[in-house]
């Protein structure tokens, strides 16, 4: 692993990650606080983070922000995405409308790691009303720290973007 532990014994910047990544994060109004917590933490960890909004708790429609996140993942502006709403369900559906994006709604680190390892997920979604900050960070850590296994999983992932495979 890159990075070193700090004097307190806690991992320092980049200790949890194989390399810095370009990460986009978006939410609806229900997940503003969790989005800010994750954004700030990821920046402290050395990642480049694009906050796609919204900027306030004024009511917004989660599909608008899910589509925006999917666009920057699909065009390569960001390598990974984090989508947040109250439950994580609505925004994950919106993100998954783009054929180049594979967004897994996760609630604990194992599902986040398996989403990467088996499904080559390039985005995760979580519910701010269901997932606290520490658990969300654990999910993000597992998601960013896990590589796609390829092999037998590749043909299945190929079918996700092209059902005629």
Q: Indicate which residues carry an active-site annotation.
A: 85, 118
**Residue 24 φ/ψ region, left for φ over 0, alpha for ψ in the -120 to 50 degree band, beta for the rest:** beta
| Per-residue burial over 18-38, b = 16 or more CB atoms within 10 Å of its CB, e = otherwise | eeebebbbbbbbbbbebbebb
Assigned token pair, 79: 């390598």
What count of other Cβ atoms lies within 10 Å of the Cβ of residue 92?
23
Q: Residue 93, CB half-sphere, CA atoms under 13 Å: how many?
A: 6
Are 81 and 95 spatial neighbours (Cβ–Cβ below 8 Å)?
yes
Planar angle of CA 14, 53, 106, nearest 5 degrees: 60
Place of tokens 């960013």: 144
């Amino acid at each position: 692993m890159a990075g070193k532990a700090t004097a307190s014994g806690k991992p320092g910047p980049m200790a949890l990650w194989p390399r810095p990544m370009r990460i986009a994060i978006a939410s609806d109004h229900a997940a503003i606080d969790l989005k800010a917590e994750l954004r700030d933490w990821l920046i402290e960890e050395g990642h480049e983070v694009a906050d796609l909004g919204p900027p306030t708790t004024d009511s917004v429609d989660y599909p608008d922000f899910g589509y925006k996140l999917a666009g920057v993942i699909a065009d390569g502006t960001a390598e990974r995405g984090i989508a947040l709403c109250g439950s994580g369900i609505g925004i994950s559906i919106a993100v998954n409308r783009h054929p180049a994006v594979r967004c897994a709604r996760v609630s604990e680190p194992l599902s986040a790691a398996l989403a990467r390892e088996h499904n080559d997920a390039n985005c995760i979604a979580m519910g701010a009303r269901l997932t606290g900050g520490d658990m969300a960070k654990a999910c993000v850590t597992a998601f960013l720290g896990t590589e796609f296994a390829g092999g037998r999983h590749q043909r299945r992932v190929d079918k996700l973007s092209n059902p005629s495979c």
